[in-house]
Amino acid sequence: MTTTETHTHPQPRLDPFGLAGSVAAAMARVEERIKLDPALRELIKLRASQINGCAYCLDMHWADAKAAGESDVRLAQLSAHAESPYFDARERAVLALTDAVTLVAETQVPDEVWDRAAQQLDEVELANVLLQIAAINFWNRVAVASRLVPASWTAA
């Protein structure tokens, strides 16, 4: 790209948070009750947002993951979590479950993916992981459909 070219991006369609703020606030309160390690929470949010192509959520949760102590190399390797040596068995199981639940219409969440997560997590943590995956998919769908602009974006 030359310096004379400009970036084009889709224009926002709607401000769902401004127009239905009480619903968004209620969902945020639900999500606050999900009990997970902050670093694992952000990995889930980032991975689902990668799959869903949600620039708004990727922007937000990349910063949140960095604040939770994630390294650049782990964040760069996230899309290759199954092969990456930077993730342990527990994290890989959670991320595989994130992939399967995010793509539920295609995967129907295979037993082997569920079982691997169930071997790594107790039932309460597994329930919280599942609810976190569902929550970020909610936010991704709202942000992608309404074309929310990432907070860090500044037009040149």
Q: For the segment 20-37, what is each residue's pLDDT rounded down to a tens digit?
A: 989 999 999 999 999 999
pLDDT score, position 118: 98
Domain positions in the chain: 37-144
Structure tokens at 61: 């949760």
Q: For the segment 91-111, what is each residue's pLDDT rounded down to a tens digit?
A: 999 999 999 999 999 999 999
Q: What angle do CA 30, 36, 96 make, to 5 degrees?
A: 105
Tell me the three-class secondary structure of 14-30, residue by residue: CCHHHHCHHHHHHHHHH
The CATH H-level (homologous superfamily) assignment of domain 37-144 is: AhpD-like (1.20.1290.10)
pLDDT at 58 over 90: yes
This prediction's pTM: 0.91
**Binning pLDDT at 50, 70 and 90, where does residue 11 land?**
confident
Structure tokens at 96: 């595989």
Q: How far apart are CA 136 and CA 154, in angstroms?
A: 24
Q: How far apart are CA 57 and CA 65, in angstroms?
A: 12
